[in-house]
Amino acid sequence: MKKKIINNYEEFLNDAPIKFVIPGNPEKLIELELILKEKFKDRANIFISKPYFLEVMNIDADKGYALEYLMKLMNIENNNVMAIGDAMNDYGMINFAGTGVAMINAIDEIKSIANITTTKNNNESGVAEIVNKYIIKNN
pTM of the model: 0.77
108: confidence class by pLDDT, cuts 50, 70, 90: very high
d(CA 130, CA 84): 9
Domain span at residue 25?
Answer: 9-58
d(CA 25, CA 90): 22
Do 15 and 80 lie in one domain? The reply is no
Mean pLDDT (whole number) for 69-80: 95
pLDDT computed for residue 13 by the predictor: 67
Count how many domains the chain has. Answer: 2
pLDDT per position as a tens digit, 1-57:
567 777 877 777 676 657 788 899 999 999 999 999 999 888 888 999 888 999 988
Q: What is the CATH number of the domain that holds 97?
A: 3.40.50.1000
Q: What is the CATH number of the domain that holds 43?
A: 3.30.1240.10
124: confidence class by pLDDT, cuts 50, 70, 90: very high
d(CA 85, CA 82): 10
Do 82 and 43 lie in one domain? The reply is no
